[in-house]
Amino acid sequence: MKIAVPYLLLVDDDPADAQMLIDRIRLVKPTIDVLQFSDGYDALAHLEACKSDHLPIALITDYSMPSLNGAQFLRLLQPQKRYGNIVKFVWSTSRMPMEECQRAGAIDFFVKPSQASDLSAIVHTLMTHLALPTVHKT
Our count of domains for the chain comes to 1
Domain that holds residue 36: 7-129
- Residue 135 domain flag: no
CATH of the domain at 86: 3.40.50.2300
Instruction: Report the amino acid identity of residue 70.
Output: G
Per-residue pLDDT tens listing for the chain (138 residues): 567 678 999 999 999 999 999 999 999 888 889 999 999 999 999 999 999 999 999 999 999 998 899 999 999 999 999 999 999 999 998 888 889 999 999 999 999 988 777 898 899 889 988 886 555 554
- Residue 24 domain flag: yes
For the entire predicted model, the pTM comes to 0.89
Strand 58-62 to 7-11 pairing: parallel
- Residue 107 domain flag: yes
Distance CA 125, CA 131 (A): 10
